[in-house]
Structure 1
């Protein structure tokens, strides 16, 4: 009995071992080696100078100076997370060859007019306007030409007033400096009415020419209308100077005369702590909050490629009873980054 019991116990032990080996073998067959995870998308700083931001149908579109082949575009749903370039022409919203210009593609502005998206921009130191069915482009011209002018002109901003009249604010490069002008536009936006041309602003204040350059610079106009008052936002000094900054003037007429705000500049190295703050545009978010998108120098020692940032802009009551005061909240300033 002891011999037989020993044989039975040995048999049972062998059977159990076999079962365990089979289970281990099956586990080895079904377990897969861990797969390496895909690398996380890397966000890179957006380097667009003279930026403009356009909001349409829940999407923010960002354009600016930075590529000799035209204007690339970046997109965002929240003004924080950006993708791009996302333009319909290899990342471009406007690509050289589709509209006027062979070089020096600068300072675009995008707006919706008569059911078409329009881009006013600079190329070859002239102002042109192209159209598209999408903010992503392609923006193009049937007749590839700039607006007629006897001088070089840059930095367009088209403003449509409450009465439907359209005005082209821009910079004329002549007579020893960059000075800002306005002229009424034809309804088809093909030409400025030269009989209405009027100078608006030039550098006259100390903050507008800190280096006392022989060639003074005021540029980058953006026009707002708030409570019946026109606000002319602009940049002054050459963009290469750390003191490049933003101020504004007000008027009761789109033609001026313009009264410069005594607290200028409202955006500068003094309140943002970055060199070369300026030349931007105003955009409102989905909640109606107002922001100014601009460029700064690349670093404290390097100008280009200029970096793109945004800061919240605010209207507040003038304690003296004048027009509302325009300012920014420096704590909200941040640079923009994008993933492909």
Structure 2
């Protein structure tokens, strides 16, 4: 049996990325509809195992993603499929990865059973490599029935410091914990002879996740409805892996400026550090389809007393992953290459995020690469379309003609202010806009004294992005921070 010490040695071999404040290369951090992410550190890579967010009948497989730096992710398709599980037909959900005994285990739910008369529940598959292929380990569900009212879905597996493994699971508003034997494919029992112990905290709906830190056990779970905007994550702390777990607070919820339906989380703590990230799925603001769920991660911190403050969903993109997931273009040609977002020459091509910020600080590095026009930041934009000024919102840009310009668009252009400044093509400039109420300030390089300081209350909220006019440009290190 692999010892805890051996596991720690393997974990510590993983690279240690910087203490990112969020997904620096942008959320969603991988392409495609996925939900319910769980995480693992295997050898020198970080792994994410999610649910494929499709209709039940299409959920017949699981993909995985791995990364050496939490920036660039490699997709590993079909790590588990129903072809390798005789009893699983559809609704394959919430994979839970763990390594033990020199092998890789993947726990999953299948068939979305509605009663004990149906075949399905929680299964366990095993592989010799993190990327699989995983095959059914026991030829039947590990947990195949409702116990204490808990639907057998949404499992999480945790190995304590003493080597005892536990499985946490449950839908329909009930959560159970059971012991796993050292073979990881059978259930043990507690001292009183019971196999299952109910641990349901107040407000619990589904998606339990166990974390241990500084001798304390953290149970996290999802509340609200998974198709609605109120989906969220709450937590409890206890001195034992079996509780009792008393709800303390909600730590992740929708942000009307960033995304809705944020829930079903896991936690990645970088080995050898106290840096933790909460991985979860969320729904973009413009999406109404319940299955339009995408993967994201943000920094999660702890107070000195061990409690967890609410997580802030941040908006950043440094384009180091050379993709533009989450961006939508309106005219022009756009590519992510060399760690920058490059716009070919056009008369008003723009690219926007699916956000809705009001009072915020907008930052980007802007390099005008050619042309006599300008390039910069779009903010508080609505009704975007292809066309030079085809949107309603504001724009601040810099031009090699020697100006910093601020104006508003409403299918036409109204200049609000312009000031002289030396702008050399090919030179990177840091552009910042502070928009609070009707106050609009534009900074270039010097972030203490604004180049432009004016007022205009025409537009109050909308999407953020970048734009060129009669120019080509490169953008980098975009960030939007609510004020």
Secondary structure of 1:316's counterpart equals coil
Would the aligned equivalents of 1:58 and 1:286 in 2 still touch at CA under 8 Å? no
Q: Which has the higher strand share?
A: 2
Match of residue 33 from structure 2: 47
Q: Which is greater in Rg?
A: 1
Identify if the C-alpha distance between structure 1 residues 142 and 310 changes in structure 2 by more than 3 Å, giving closer, same or farther.
closer
Alignment of 1:27-42 (within 5 A): none
Would the aligned equivalents of 1:312 and 1:333 in 2 still touch at CA under 8 Å? no
Alignment of 1:17-166 (within 5 A): 45-66=31-52, 68-84=59-75, 86=76, 91-99=77-85, 100-125=87-112, 126-151=121-146, 152-166=151-165
Identify if the C-alpha distance between structure 1 residues 106 and 268 changes in structure 2 by more than 3 Å, giving closer, same or farther.
same
Ranges in structure 1 where 5+ consecutive residues have no aligned partner: 1-42, 209-216, 319-323
Deviations 1:160-196 (A, max 9, x none): 111111111100x5xxx33111111222223334614
Taking the aligned partners of 1:275 and 1:331, their CA distance within structure 2 comes to: 10
Matched, 1:326 2:316: no
Identify if the C-alpha distance between structure 1 residues 307 and 331 changes in structure 2 by more than 3 Å, giving closer, same or farther.
closer
Match of residue 279 from structure 2: 293
CA drift at 1:58: 1.9
Ranges in structure 2 where 5+ consecutive residues have no aligned partner: 1-28, 53-57, 113-120, 324-483
Identify if the C-alpha distance between structure 1 residues 252 and 271 changes in structure 2 by more than 3 Å, giving closer, same or farther.
farther
Matched, 1:276 2:261: yes
Matched, 1:265 2:265: no
Q: Which has the higher helix share?
A: 1
In the alignment of these two chains, the number of paired residues is: 270
Secondary structure of 1:275's counterpart equals strand
Taking the aligned partners of 2:313 and 2:281, their CA distance within structure 1 comes to: 17
Match of residue 167 from structure 1: 166
Higher relative contact order (CA 8 A, sep 6+): 1
Taking the aligned partners of 1:338 and 1:96, their CA distance within structure 2 comes to: 33
Taking the aligned partners of 1:326 and 1:279, their CA distance within structure 2 comes to: 17
Q: Output the TM-score relative to the length of structure 1.
A: 0.72
Matched, 1:181 2:176: yes
CA drift at 1:75: 2.2
Matched, 1:249 2:244: no
Secondary structure of 1:294's counterpart equals strand
Aligned-residue Cα RMSD (Å) equals 2.6
Would the aligned equivalents of 2:252 and 2:311 in 1 still touch at CA under 8 Å? no
